[in-house]
């Protein structure tokens, strides 16, 4: 009974009552994996005024399975945007939609309402 | 006219019937059965310990006194567990090594991923198998016991024992499934968002694949529903027959898609604890054409 009780109280304490201790084992597998991942999509305004998808790998001539595959955080996203704007040239209109993975779901961190290269 | 009891009174008046309590107690602590299924788990656990850590614990890897002490204990304890010499003591030793890796080397010294759930599960499984007659079959202990019996001119000891350790493994697995499902019972997971994040993290990078949303939502709901079903359904024969295959498939998919190390394999091995030990024994006997340690009448369930 004591052993079974310990099996139950450990995760109950941490997952129900939020008691944090390494001595108590919760069963929250992969609860932190994916948190912090950035989902980003890019569009660029063409000569005809229409927005078309922008492939950042093609733009940079970078391999699709390289470092650029994962945008690590907000700072990394800002860096990618800055580089895209530089490569696209002065006056480019690049729209960026990005969201950040959190434990509570997705959190928008960049909208495509404005030109990311402006300012 | 008698007054209806308030809900609180109804709860206070609720008592499990003595027959139910007696059945539960008999199931939990009073069941004797074949030791062969416990022995299979013992051997499987030793192999899982090796497959997970033998490479990391080779003597040249960490030549500090603590590292060498850990490695020596690891290889001695798991070797004894595998061959089944002083099997239950070896299981306690192996489990203690696992807990030392988890608590001391993992949490205290920061060695990762030794603080992960697969480490804890293996350590606890080794400790729980020590509470079973895991050395009475398929072991050096058994060989020596048979040899002694032959010398003494008496029948060899029965390959049987109390199975309360297997019951505790069943409780551990159900608790694990329940709290794993409980952790996911929120909008973030059930909407599919958390699964999408995990998919991007390991596979897609920062480019969301088109058409991912619906499958992610469906799979998320299915995973949570399955985990609750496994928690409450696997211990019972009537529901187990429908859940074993989905449960094993679930772990197989996780094993090949995510870095869960030995977790899936450990879970699959521990599924043996769900089955009636005598029924497992009969299957082994039938497959190998050898005598069964179990009394007649059991069926695999």
> Does residue B201 sit within a domain?
yes
Domain shared by A24 and A47, yes or no: no
> Does residue B23 sit within a domain?
no
Q: What is the Cα–Cα distance from B30 to B24, expressed in whole angstroms?
A: 9
Domain shared by A24 and A43, yes or no: no
Q: Find the CB nearest B198 among A26, A33, A38.
A: A33
> Does residue B298 sit within a domain?
no
pLDDT tens digits, B255-267: 999 988 999 999 9
Q: What is the DSSP letter of B158?
A: P
Q: What is the DSSP letter of B4?
A: P
Q: What is the DSSP letter of A16?
A: T
Domain shared by A4 and A59, yes or no: no
Domain shared by A64 and A106, yes or no: yes
* pLDDT above 70 (res B30): yes
> Does residue A97 sit within a domain?
yes
Query: Is any Cβ of chain A less than 8 angstroms from the Cβ of B207?
Result: yes
SS3 B3: coil
Determine, for residues B175 and A27 on separate chains, whether the beta-carbon distance falls below 8 Å.
yes
SS3 A45: strand
Q: E-assigned strands of A29-104?
A: 38-45, 51-53, 94-102
State how many domains chain A has: 2
Query: Is any Cβ of chain A less than 8 angstroms from the Cβ of B258?
Result: yes
Q: What does residue B240 show for φ and ψ, rounded to 5 degrees? A: -60, -40
Instruction: Provide the terminal-to-terminal Cα distance of chain A, rounded to the nearest Å.
Output: 66
Q: What is the CA radius of gyration of chain B?
A: 23
pLDDT tens digits, B59-76: 999 999 999 999 999 999
Domain shared by A42 and A99, yes or no: yes
DSSP B202-225: IIITTSPPTT-HHHHHHHHHHHHH
pLDDT category of residue B293 using cuts at 50, 70 and 90: low
Instruction: Provide the terminal-to-terminal Cα distance of chain B, rounded to the nearest Å.
Output: 50
pLDDT of amino acid A24: 80
* pLDDT above 90 (res B34): yes
Query: Residue B264: closest CA among chain A residues belongs to which residue?
Result: A29
Domain shared by A44 and A22, yes or no: no
pLDDT tens digits, A37-56: 999 999 999 888 899 999 99
A40 neighbourhood in chain B, CB within 8 Å:
206-207
Q: What is the Cα–Cα distance from A63 to B12, expressed in whole angstroms?
A: 67
> Does residue A115 sit within a domain?
no
Residue-number span of the structural domain to which B101 is assigned: 33-288
Smallest Cα–Cα separation from A15: which of B116, B183, B118, B186? Answer: B183
The pair of structure tokens assigned to B67 is 């590292």
pLDDT category of residue B16 using cuts at 50, 70 and 90: low
Residue-number span of the structural domain to which A47 is assigned: 38-110
Across-strand partners of B49? none
Query: Residue A105: closest CA among chain B residues belongs to which residue?
Result: B188
> Does residue A118 sit within a domain?
no
> Does residue B18 sit within a domain?
no
Q: E-assigned strands of B93-143?
A: none
Domain shared by A105 and A71, yes or no: yes
- Mean pLDDT across chain B: 89
Query: Is any Cβ of chain A less than 8 angstroms from the Cβ of B103?
Result: yes
Domain shared by A63 and A6, yes or no: no
> Does residue B3 sit within a domain?
no
> Does residue B13 sit within a domain?
no
> Does residue B1 sit within a domain?
no
pLDDT tens digits, A68-97: 999 988 999 999 999 999 998 888 899 999
State how many domains chain B has: 1
Domain shared by A57 and A105, yes or no: yes
Domain shared by A68 and A17, yes or no: no
pLDDT: which is higher, B274 or B23:
B274
Assembly ipTM: 0.88
pLDDT tens digits, B243-257: 999 999 999 999 999
> Does residue B175 sit within a domain?
yes
> Does residue A24 sit within a domain?
yes
Q: What is the Cα–Cα distance from A111 to B212, expressed in whole angstroms?
A: 21
Burial class (CB in 10 A: 0-12, 13-18, 19+), B55: exposed
């Amino acid at each position: 009974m004591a052993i079974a009780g310990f099996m139950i109280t450990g995760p109950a304490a941490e997952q129900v009552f939020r008691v944090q201790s390494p001595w108590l084992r919760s069963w929250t597998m992969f609860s932190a994996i994916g948190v912090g991942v950035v989902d980003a999509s890019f569009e660029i305004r063409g000569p005809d005024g229409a927005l078309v998808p922008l492939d950042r790998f093609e733009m940079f001539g970078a391999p699709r399975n390289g470092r650029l595959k994962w945008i690590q955080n907000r700072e990394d996203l800002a860096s990618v945007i800055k580089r895209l704007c530089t490569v696209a040239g002065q006056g480019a209109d690049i729209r960026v939609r990005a969201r950040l993975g959190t434990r509570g779901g997705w959190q928008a961190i960049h909208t495509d309402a404005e030109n990311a290269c402006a300012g | 006219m008698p007054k209806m009891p308030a809900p609180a009174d109804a709860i206070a008046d609720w008592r499990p019937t003595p027959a139910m309590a007696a059945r539960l107690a008999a199931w939990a602590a009073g069941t004797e059965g074949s030791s062969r299924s416990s022995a299979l788990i013992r051997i499987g656990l030793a192999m899982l310990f090796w497959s997970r850590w033998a490479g990391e614990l080779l003597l040249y890897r960490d030549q500090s006194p603590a590292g060498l002490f850990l490695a020596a204990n690891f290889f001695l304890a798991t070797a004894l567990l595998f061959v089944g010499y002083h099997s239950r003591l070896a299981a306690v030793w192996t489990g203690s090594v696992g807990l030392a890796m988890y608590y001391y080397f993992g949490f205290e010294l920061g060695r990762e991923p030794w603080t992960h759930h697969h480490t804890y599960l293996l350590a606890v499984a080794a400790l729980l198998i020590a509470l079973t007659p895991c050395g009475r079959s398929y072991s050096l202990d058994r060989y020596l016991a048979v040899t002694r019996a032959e010398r003494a001119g008496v029948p060899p000891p029965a390959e049987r024992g109390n199975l309360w350790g297997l019951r505790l493994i069943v409780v551990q697995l159900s608790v694990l499934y329940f709290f794993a499902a409980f952790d996911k019972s929120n909008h973030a997971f059930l909407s599919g968002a958390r699964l999408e994040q995990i998919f991007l993290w390991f596979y897609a990078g920062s480019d969301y694949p088109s058409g991912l949303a619906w499958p992610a939502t469906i799979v998320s709901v299915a995973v949570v529903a399955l985990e609750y079903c496994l928690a409450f359904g696997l211990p019972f024969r009537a529901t187990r027959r429908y859940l074993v295959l989905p449960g094993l498939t679930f772990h197989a998919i996780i094993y090949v898609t995510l870095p869960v190390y030995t977790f899936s394999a450990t879970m699959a091995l521990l599924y043996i604890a769900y089955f009636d030990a005598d029924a497992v024994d009969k299957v082994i006997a039938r497959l190998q054409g050898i005598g069964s340690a179990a009394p007649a009448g059991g069926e695999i369930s």
